[in-house]
Amino acid sequence: MSDRVAGDRIELRGLRVVGRCGVLPEEIERGQPLEVDLDVVTDMAAAGVSDDLADTVDYGAICAAVERAITDGHVQLLEFLAGKLADAVLAVDGRISAVEVAVRKLRPPVPQHLATSGVRVTRLRP
């Protein structure tokens, strides 16, 4: 995450969800595997002392929100999807101060041998 966003982070890596993202006919009609990485900025001092789940952000709820956002219809651009995912994460818990979202197509529709195509965005709570 950018050096401008300081704080504790929950790191979530490799969340895979099938969604419809793209402009080609096959991307509109059929889902494709997408992979998401998240860095969620939140103060973890209380949880670090208490060892109590109530003192931290529920990453299961974050994953569920991201999955819902991906499967909620078709989007054309990964850039749009990344912003939508960031908004969904920030809505999960008011203690989240920022999030960095990386989202990748695991089967990008190009003739070259390309492992993934993706974008990364950082959003701060207003």
Residues 6 or more apart in contact with residue 55 via CB below 8 angstroms: 46, 47
105 labelled catalytic: yes
Which pTM value belongs to this model? 0.93
| Coil/strand/helix, residue 121 | strand
Tokens at residue 64, please? Answer: 């569920």
Q: Which of 21, 62, 103, 105 is catalytic?
A: 105
Per-residue pLDDT tens over the stretch 60-106:
999 999 999 999 999 999 999 999 999 999 999 999 999 999 999 99
Token digits for 25?
Answer: 């006919």
Residue 108 has pLDDT above 70, yes or no: yes
pLDDT for residue 83: 98
Chain length of the chain? 126
Closest CA to 21 of 82, 102, 111: 82
Alpha helices in 12-114 (DSSP H): 25-29, 45-50, 59-71, 78-92
Query: CB–CB of 123/98 below 8 Å?
Result: yes
Look at residue 4 in the predicted model and tell me its pLDDT: 62
Cβ atoms within 10 Å, residue 1? 16
Coarse DSSP helix, strand, coil percentages of the chain, rounded to the nearest 5 percent: 35, 35, 35
